[in-house]
Chains A and B, each alone.
Chain A
């Protein structure tokens, strides 16, 4: 791990004492601001629920919420999160969604699951009653090689119904 010390005179424009909120708690990272958010979460905070499936934005296993919006944490740098709020699977309050995934059988190997739950959460925040097409559009950045997605779609529908009732 590299401890960042910048020996450039132009310090004023750096995020002095970079801080960010993760799962409700403020942190002053030891990692350099050019650390991928994914690595910071996994290495420094031990939040290993966020997965790396490709490192280039193609799989969605690394999705987290940044100020409530889904981002690929493999393509976001820590320095870009200064003063902002990150939510990972460990900090997500999404029991209804999680229960729906379990009940419907939308999980197999589980490697894609945290990312899918995050994306579902973001979708239902924005659109509590999505139709099939909207669900597919919202989860289009999450690859799953195991399930064939049928039960994922159904789980989101079930979660939406539960939300509606709750």
Chain B
């Protein structure tokens, strides 16, 4: 591969990694590599070095304290399924259907988020959970709402010198959820549409998140607001208006829009 000629850095802890990041603005962070190394099959003159952050100890947090879940950006999907499967079932379902076992052994939450694909499967559950990402650079830490962090396809608010270190969210009380991933086949399929609906019985609200039907994963805030009015049809109309699916190599805009409506409708039926 062309990148055999670029240097490889293997910092042993977060502060070394942050220092390298700052120093080498033309480098790329390598976590599981399952997105990056596919993208780097085509020569890329903007990537002049690789900094390996896979396995960095500070990125391995995996804990649920009370209702708060904290996941290190370096946690692989396999490890999450072993140690965090009961934290937040909609996310667990998403991760179980993601890629394949060998990919899940390497792929990380951080990579899935920073890669910012509209079809990234961890995102609809995390959007529905109003997750927050924690970013760190040599200058310090900042917290950003996930939906604000992701700006568009393959674009995030990550700044040069920053590393995503953690994802955090509150698991609501007694929620009911419905998660569906629609892919072309049962494994190793990127989503045509993915959907996560949450119903919070305490405050009688819903949250609706959709993947692969717009430049980013989308929350249907306006439709969510209509829930209290009890008019299912207008809520569904709101959803189909909001989503912006396209025709691409995987599916058609029409069918995707139809799926958004169908899955939302199914969710509403299940909670009613």
Q: Are A13 and B12 in contact (CB under 8 A)?
A: yes
Contact with B along A1-36 (1 / 0, CB 8 A): 110101010100111000000000000000111111
Q: Are B102 and A13 in contact (CB under 8 A)?
A: no
Residues of A within 8 A of B188 (CB): 58, 140-141
Q: How far is the CB of A83 from chain B (nearest CB, A)?
A: 10
Q: How far is the CB of A38 from chain B (nearest CB, A)?
A: 10
A112 within 8 A of B: no
Q: Are B10 and A79 in contact (CB under 8 A)?
A: yes
Residues of A within 8 A of B103 (CB): 57, 72, 75, 141
A47 within 8 A of B: no
Given contact pairs A72-B106, A77-B30, A79-B52, A13 touches B99 in the complex (Cβ within 8 A): no
Given contact pairs A13-B11, A34-B4, A70 touches B101 in the complex (Cβ within 8 A): yes
In Å, the complex CA distance between A72 and B186 comes to 19
Which B residues from 105 to 156 make CB contacts under 8 A with A? 105-106
Q: Are B1 and A36 in contact (CB under 8 A)?
A: yes
Q: Are A33 and B8 in contact (CB under 8 A)?
A: yes
Q: Are A137 and B20 in contact (CB under 8 A)?
A: no
In Å, the complex CA distance between A74 and B20 comes to 26
Q: How far is the CB of B113 from chain A (nearest CB, A)?
A: 18
Q: How far is the CB of B105 from chain A (nearest CB, A)?
A: 5
A71 within 8 A of B: yes
In Å, the complex CA distance between A55 and B39 comes to 11
Q: How far is the CB of A90 from chain B (nearest CB, A)?
A: 19
In Å, the complex CA distance between A57 and B101 comes to 11
In Å, the complex CA distance between A26 and B6 comes to 25
From A1, A56, A71, A140, B106 is in contact (CB under 8 Å) with A71
On chain A, the number of residues with a Cβ less than 8 Å from chain B's Cβ atoms is: 40
Residues of B within 8 A of A79 (CB): 8, 10, 50, 52
Residues of A within 8 A of B186 (CB): 140
Residues of B within 8 A of A60 (CB): 100, 102
Given contact pairs A2-B4, A10-B9, A77 touches B102 in the complex (Cβ within 8 A): no
Scoring B8, B33, B34 by chain A CB atoms within 10 A of each residue's CB, the highest score goes to B8
Residues of A within 8 A of B92 (CB): none
Q: Are B41 and A56 in contact (CB under 8 A)?
A: yes
A69 within 8 A of B: yes
Given contact pairs A10-B9, A70-B105, A79-B52, A31 touches B4 in the complex (Cβ within 8 A): yes
A63 within 8 A of B: yes
Q: Are B8 and A77 in contact (CB under 8 A)?
A: yes
A-B pairs with beta carbons under 8 Å apart, 24 shown: A4-B4, A4-B5, A8-B7, A13-B9, A13-B16, A14-B8, A15-B8, A34-B3, A34-B7, A34-B50, A35-B4, A36-B1, A55-B41, A60-B102, A70-B101, A70-B102, A75-B34, A75-B38, A80-B30, A80-B33, A140-B188, A141-B101, A141-B103, A141-B188
- Which 5 pairs between the two chains have the least Cβ-Cβ distance? A141-B100, A140-B187, A33-B8, A79-B8, A70-B102
